[in-house]
Amino acid sequence: MKVLKIIGIVVAVLAVILIAIGLFAPAEYKVERSAIINAPAEVVFRNVADLHEFVKWNPWSKKDPNIQMVHEGEPGTVGSSYHWKGNKQVGEGQMTVTAVEPNTRVEQKLDFLEPFPSTANVYYTVEPAEGGNKVTWGMTGKSSFVPRIFMTLMGGMEKAIGGDYEQGVKDLKAKCEAEASAAPVPAAETTPATGSTESTKPADATPAP
């Protein structure tokens, strides 16, 4: 009986601690990472605004090679979305573009269905910087009572996905810079200046008789 009483006390104390975490731990969170990308703003923007491109560099797609994806809407426009369903590492959810400022900013609504329902706001900003363009990838949200407990015990949202965001911007940088370096170089202008009467023949050419 004494052992059972001790166990009951321990369980009660743990329950109080968990409730306190749920009540007093910060509900709002923000995770953000940035990188300088040596590529035109148009290239960077396409890779963050078009969800078909996003799935090629985001870190979670690599965690499940059999992940199922369904895209809807015109790529890179408000209302376009994709739904994914994968293993335990990636869960299930949907991302929808909610705002677009060409070559400057994208906002998205992120709805998680598994491992537990929640909603977050995702954003990207692109701005000129020394060495190219600075892209910032961020997510903000508010955890409900039970998810807040789990997130706090895991070290918070920063610890939970901060590393993924770090890897994500590195992969985004590599993808954009590879695409920029592979882009064709425009041909140089060869049209003579207006009013010029200079011959286009080689200097040593023999004049026609």
pLDDT in tens, the chain (209 residues): 676 667 766 666 666 666 665 554 556 778 999 999 999 999 999 999 999 999 999 998 888 989 999 999 999 999 999 999 999 888 999 999 999 999 999 999 999 988 878 899 999 999 999 999 999 999 998 766 556 665 665 666 677 788 999 999 999 999 999 999 997 655 544 444 444 444 444 444 433 43
Residues 126 and 48: beta-carbon distance below 8 Å: yes
In this prediction, residue 22 carries a pLDDT of: 52
If we measure between CA atoms, which residue out of 91, 63, 95 comes closest to residue 82?
95
In this prediction, residue 167 carries a pLDDT of: 95
Q: Which helix (H) or strand (E) holds 28?
A: strand 28-37
Domains, the chain, in order of start with CATH, read 28-181 (3.30.530.20)
In this prediction, residue 26 carries a pLDDT of: 58
In this prediction, residue 200 carries a pLDDT of: 40
In this prediction, residue 195 carries a pLDDT of: 43
Strand order in the sheet with 132-142: 28-37, 132-142, 118-129, 105-114, 92-101, 81-85, 68-72
Residues 84 and 93: beta-carbon distance below 8 Å: yes
In this prediction, residue 12 carries a pLDDT of: 66
In this prediction, residue 44 carries a pLDDT of: 96
If we measure between CA atoms, which residue out of 118, 121, 111 comes closest to residue 145?
118
pTM exceeding 0.85: no
